[in-house]
């Protein structure tokens, strides 16, 4: 598994300095409900807006 997960979404609760993700786990899903054919067909469901 990856040692570091990079994230540029600075308004996410899990965003950490150096564009790192501090979440314990990451959940990524497909837009289509089927196999994604490229990154544009996926979403990170781990996102939580920073308060």
CA distances from 35 to 14, 40, 41, 42 (A): 26, 12, 9, 9
- Say if residue 24's pLDDT is above 90: yes
Backbone angles phi, psi at 15, to 5 degrees: -70, 135
Can you tell me the mean pLDDT for 18-44? 92
> Is the pTM value of this prediction over 0.85?
no
Q: Which two tokens stand for residue 22?
A: 């501090």
Structural contact between residues 22 and 14, judged by C-beta atoms closer than 8 angstroms? yes
Can you tell me the mean pLDDT for 20-46? 92
- Say if residue 11's pLDDT is above 90: yes
pLDDT of 23: 95
All structural domains of the chain with their residue ranges: 1-51
List the beta bridge partners of residue 49: 12
pLDDT of 2: 80
């Amino acid at each position: 598994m990856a040692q570091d997960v990079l994230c540029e979404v600075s308004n996410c609760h899990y965003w950490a300095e150096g564009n790192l993700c501090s979440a314990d786990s990451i959940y990524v899903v497909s837009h289509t409900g089927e196999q994604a054919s490229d990154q544009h067909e996926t979403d990170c469901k781990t996102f939580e807006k920073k308060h």
